[in-house]
C-alpha cells in the first residue's frame, strides 16, 4: 500500500448537499504527487464544489479528505501557502492593473520580502506572456488576457499543488494549447495539478482523469483504462452491395461477440471489442453473399464512453426506485 505522502490529495466518501441536491456524492479518490489529474464533466457535475471542499471554502456534510498530508477541515497557513487556486469565476480586482493584481496575490500567499516578490512577479509575467499588458487596468483587458492574469495570480508563489477550475473556458485554441504546455512543464518539476474542464478533448492532456456526473465519479483512470469500459466500443461501418437479411444478422451475432445496427437500406454498423475478429466478420459476410463496397473502422470517443456510463448510472438509479 502506498504511503500517504505519495498522494497530494486523498478523499473518502466526501459529500456536500445543497437542499435536496447532492452536489458532491460520496467521492473517494487519490491523486498522486506530480500528476495532472482531470475532473471531466458537464456544468453542474459537481467539479467546482469538489474543488472548494478541498481548499476549505466549503465544509463537507460527511466524509473526509487530506491535501498535502493535512486534513481539509484544518488546513494550516503553511499548507495553504503551498496551494495555488484559479477559480472559474474571475477573482481579479478590475480597478487594479494586471501587475498590481499579481502583487496582491503574491503578498496574500506569503511573498513578503519585497525583492523576492519582485523577482517572482517578473518571472510569472513572462511565463504567461502578458508583458505588454502588465500595467493596464484589468477591466480593459480581453477575456483571454484576464485568464492569463488569473493564472499568474495562482502560480506567482510557486505552489506545490495547483487547482485550476475551468482554466481554458473562453480562450483561443492557441492560448489553450499554451496553457496545457505550461501545466505539463510544472509537473516535470514535481508539481501536482488538478484541473476541471467540460471540454472532453482536453482529457488527453491529463495523466489520469475522473468522469463526473450528478456529483458522482462514474469512472477514474488513464484514458486507455476509461476507454476500455465501453463494451464493443469499436465499430465497423460497412456499405453493402445489397440489403442484409435479418437471419444473416442473427447468425453473425451468434458467431461473434458483436452488436449490429442497421443504418438505412445498405449500411450497417458492427460494434466489437476484439480486433482479431474483424477479418473473420468481413469474410463471413462475403461468404454469405453480401458484397461489401466500403469499410470504415471507427474508434470510440470519450463522449461515447461518457454517454454509456451516464446511461448505466441512470439505469442503476431507476432499478433502485
Whole-angstrom Cα distance, residue 223 to residue 262? 30
**CATH homologous superfamily of 4-227:** P-loop containing nucleotide triphosphate hydrolases (3.40.50.300)
What are 76-117's pLDDT values in tens digits? 999 999 999 999 887 899 999 999 999 999 999 999 999 999
Whole-angstrom Cα distance, residue 103 to residue 78? 19
Q: State pTM to two decimals.
A: 0.84
* Domain range summary for the chain, segments of one domain joined by +: 4-227, 234-298
Measured CA distances, 287 to 121, 188, 263 (Å): 71, 55, 22
**Which CATH number is correct for 234-298, 3.40.50.2000, 3.40.50.150, 3.40.50.300, 3.30.70.1560?**
3.30.70.1560
Measured CA distances, 282 to 18, 149, 268 (Å): 54, 56, 12
Percent of the chain whose pLDDT exceeds 90: 72
Q: How far is CA 200 from the centre of its chain?
A: 7
Whole-angstrom Cα distance, residue 102 to residue 221? 35
For cell 493535512, the residue is 70
What are 158-200's pLDDT values in tens digits? 999 999 999 988 788 888 888 899 899 999 999 999 999 988 8
Amino acid at each position: 500500500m502506498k504511503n500517504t505522502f505519495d498522494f497530494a490529495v486523498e478523499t473518502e466518501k466526501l459529500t456536500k448537499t445543497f437542499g435536496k441536491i447532492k452536489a458532491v456524492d460520496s467521492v473517494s479518490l487519490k491523486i498522486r504527487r506530480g500528476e495532472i489529474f482531470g475532473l471531466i464533466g458537464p456544468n453542474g457535475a459537481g467539479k467546482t464544489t469538489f474543488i472548494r471542499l478541498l481548499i476549505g471554502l466549503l465544509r463537507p456534510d460527511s466524509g473526509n479528505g487530506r491535501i498535502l498530508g493535512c486534513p481539509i477541515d484544518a488546513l494550516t497557513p503553511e499548507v495553504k501557502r503551498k496551494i495555488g487556486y484559479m477559480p472559474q469565476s474571475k477573482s481579479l480586482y478590475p480597478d487594479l492593473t494586471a501587475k498590481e493584481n499579481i502583487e496582491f496575490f503574491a503578498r496574500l500567499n506569503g511573498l513578503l520580502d519585497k525583492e523576492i516578490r519582485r523577482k517572482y512577479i517578473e518571472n510569472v509575467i513572462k511565463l504567461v506572456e502578458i508583458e505588454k499588458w502588465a500595467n493596464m487596468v484589468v477591466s480593459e483587458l480581453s477575456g483571454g488576457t484576464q485568464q492569463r492574469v488569473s493564472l499568474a495570480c495562482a502560480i506567482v508563489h510557486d505552489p506545490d499543488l495547483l487547482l485550476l477550475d475551468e482554466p481554458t473556458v473562453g480562450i483561443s485554441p492557441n492560448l489553450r494549447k499554451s496553457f496545457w504546455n505550461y501545466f505539463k512543464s510544472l509537473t516535470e518539476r514535481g508539481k501536482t495539478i488538478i484541473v476541471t474542464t467540460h471540454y472532453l478533448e482536453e482529457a488527453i492532456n491529463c495523466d489520469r482523469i475522473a468522469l463526473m456526473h450528478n456529483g458522482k465519479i462514474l469512472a477514474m483512470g488513464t484514458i486507455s483504462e476509461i476507454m476500455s469500459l465501453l463494451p464493443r466500443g469499436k465499430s465497423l461501418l460497412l456499405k453493402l452491395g445489397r440489403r442484409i437479411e435479418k437471419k444473416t444478422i442473427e447468425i453473425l451475432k451468434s458467431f461473434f461477440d458483436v452488436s449490429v445496427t442497421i443504418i438505412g437500406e445498405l449500411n450497417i454498423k458492427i460494434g466489437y471489442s476484439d480486433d482479431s475478429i474483424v477479418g473473420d466478420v468481413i469474410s463471413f459476410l462475403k461468404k454469405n453473399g453480401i458484397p461489401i463496397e466500403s469499410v470504415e473502422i471507427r474508434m470510440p470517443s470519450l463522449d461515447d464512453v461518457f454517454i454509456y456510463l451516464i446511461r448505466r448510472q441512470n439505469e442503476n438509479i431507476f432499478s433502485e426506485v
